[in-house]
Structures are given as structure tokens and as C-alpha cells.
């Protein structure tokens, strides 16, 4: 590995790390040299991710928790500092979606999308920022979505929440730059998971949209992890307030 991409000696937190992209990000960050605290609601899932990280010779802390609960967020930060002594990197990966046309999305459904996709990103960032400020800096990486950059047809709540994540990223980057805290986002496109095929079958029009991806395939967790590692490492040291789109060219092809 080129030393500019090394995370050796860094401590990271990855939320939503029990499966899919979050798990891949956590494991690849460990390969890059980081010790990683992993969180998700399922204890079994985060313990499995932590076990994989330990096999790589890195330290890992599994924290079952719900990032929609502010008290649990504060507990996560406290446990990580107690275990590792610092927090250098936060990856806000938690998110969820249930597509519905705008006229069919209930108020509760809208609130759920904001509470799941936007609020935890802010609350987790706010919780780690004082630690990073006092230690002389840090990096926050928010997992947004291409649907925050274009029309999110039949997915209005998710798209609006992810657009909020992108704006939040820019705002915190400017506010926290004096503390040497860099804040960036990654906007993934389709992700290769067991849920993708199900979505292609259930959501009208999604298959046609997927066919418009110039690279003609979904991205892998490892590819998204590569973008995160770039932003977290010395290689991305002059990047802040930016959103790195990693979607096989889908967003570019829609303009």
C-alpha cells in the first residue's frame, strides 16, 4: 500500500457495520491499518465484523446500538475513547430506504426517513467533534447517495434526507475547519447486495434506471471502501466539504 493511503495508528468508528457496505468499509479500513469500533443494532452482526477485523491483526470494538438514540450515541463515543484513547475517523454509514411514490408516503414514513438517514449523521458527528477538536483534528465521512443529487422518483423521503446529508457535509466542513476536522461525503450508486435483485423485481422503473449505468454493473463494498479510505487518509488531506460520487457514471449520464 502506498503510505499516503495508510490509516496506520488511526482509530475509526463505522456505523451500520454489521453487513454490506458498512461491513466492507470497516474491514478495508482495518486492512489499511486502522483500529475500528463497529456499530449496528444487531449484536451478532457487529461481533462478526469485529472478529474479521481482529483476524487482520487490528483491534476492534463491537458496540450494538441504535444511532437514532442520542444517549446510545454518547455511550458509543465514550466506549470508543475508553478502549482506544482517541477517535480519528467517523464513518456515518447508517441508512435505510423504503420506496414509495410521494402521494403514497405517509407523514410517519417521511419522519422515519429523516430520523434514520439524516438525524444520526448529525448527532454522531456532533458527538465526536469535541474529541477530534481537543486532539487536534479528525475526519468525518458521511455516506450519502446519488439520490441526494438527482430526482429520487418513488423514493422522495430517502432522496431528501440524503440531499440533507450532502448539505450537512458542506456546512460542518466550513464550521469545523478551524478545528482541523475534515468533513466529506461519498455518494454511492447501486450496491452489490442480496437486496439489489429484490429491488429490481419490486420497484417499477428501477431496472431501466440500472441499465443506464454506464459501467453496466453495481459497485462493490470494496470499491466504496476505497473512496472512504482515500478521504480518510493523507491522500485526501486537502479535501473537505466535498461529495465524491461513486456510481458507475449514473449521475453524470442523467444530466
* Grid cell listed for 21: 457496505
Residue 154: CB atoms within 10 Å: 17
Which pLDDT belongs to residue 215? 93
pTM equals 0.94
Packing angle of the helix pair 119-135, 107-117 (nearest 10 deg): 20
d(CA 86, CA 226): 23
HEC sequence for 176-218:
HHHHCEEEEEEEECCECCHHHHHHHHHCCCHHHHHCCCCCCCC
Which pLDDT belongs to residue 191? 85
Q: Collapsing DSSP states into helix, strand and coil, what is residue 125?
A: helix
Kindly name the residue from 158, 179, 224, 238 that is annotated as catalytic.
158
Active site residue 158: yes
Q: Domains (ranges, CATH) in the chain?
A: 3-246 (3.40.50.720)
**Average pLDDT of adjacent 10-residue blocks, the chain of 255 residues:** 94 95 97 98 96 98 96 98 98 90 95 96 98 98 95 92 98 98 96 67 64 88 96 98 96 81
Which pLDDT belongs to residue 159? 96
Backbone angles phi, psi at 33, to 5 degrees: 115, -5
Q: What confidence tens digit (pLDDT) does each residue in 24-65 have?
A: 999 999 999 999 999 999 999 999 999 999 999 999 999 999
Amino acid at each position: 500500500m502506498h503510505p499516503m493511503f495508510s490509516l496506520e495508528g488511526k482509530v475509526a468508528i463505522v456505523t451500520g457495520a454489521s453487513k454490506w457496505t458498512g461491513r466492507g468499509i470497516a474491514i478495508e479500513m482495518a486492512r489499511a491499518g486502522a483500529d475500528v469500533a463497529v456499530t449496528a443494532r444487531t449484536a451478532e452482526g457487529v461481533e462478526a465484523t469485529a472478529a474479521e477485523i481482529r483476524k487482520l491483526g487490528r483491534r476492534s470494538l463491537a458496540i450494538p446500538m441504535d444511532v437514532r438514540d442520542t444517549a446510545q450515541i454518547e455511550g458509543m463515543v465514550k466506549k470508543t475513547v475508553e478502549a482506544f484513547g482517541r477517535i480519528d475517523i467517523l464513518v456515518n454509514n447508517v441508512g435505510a430506504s423504503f420506496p414509495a411514490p410521494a402521494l403514497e408516503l405517509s407523514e410517519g414514513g417521511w419522519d422515519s426517513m429523516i430520523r434514520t438517514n439524516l438525524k444520526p449523521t448529525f448527532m454522531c458527528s456532533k458527538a465526536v467533534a469535541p474529541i477530534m477538536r481537543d486532539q487536534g483534528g479528525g475526519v468525518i465521512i458521511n455516506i450519502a447517495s446519488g439520490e441526494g443529487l438527482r430526482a429520487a422518483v418513488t423514493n422522495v423521503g430517502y432522496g431528501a434526507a440524503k440531499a440533507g446529508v450532502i448539505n450537512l457535509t458542506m456546512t460542518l466542513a466550513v464550521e469545523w475547519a478551524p478545528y482541523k476536522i475534515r468533513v466529506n461525503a461519498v455518494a454511492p450508486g447501486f450496491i452489490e447486495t442480496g437486496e439489489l435483485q429484490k429491488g429490481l423485481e419490486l420497484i417499477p422503473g428501477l431496472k431501466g434506471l440500472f441499465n443506464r449505468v454506464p459501467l453496466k454493473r453495481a459497485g462493490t463494498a470494496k470499491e466504496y471502501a476505497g473512496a472512504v479510505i482515500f478521504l480518510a487518509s493523507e491522500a485526501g488531506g486537502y479535501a473537505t466539504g466535498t461529495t465524491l460520487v461513486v456510481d458507475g457514471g449514473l449521475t453524470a449520464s442523467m444530466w
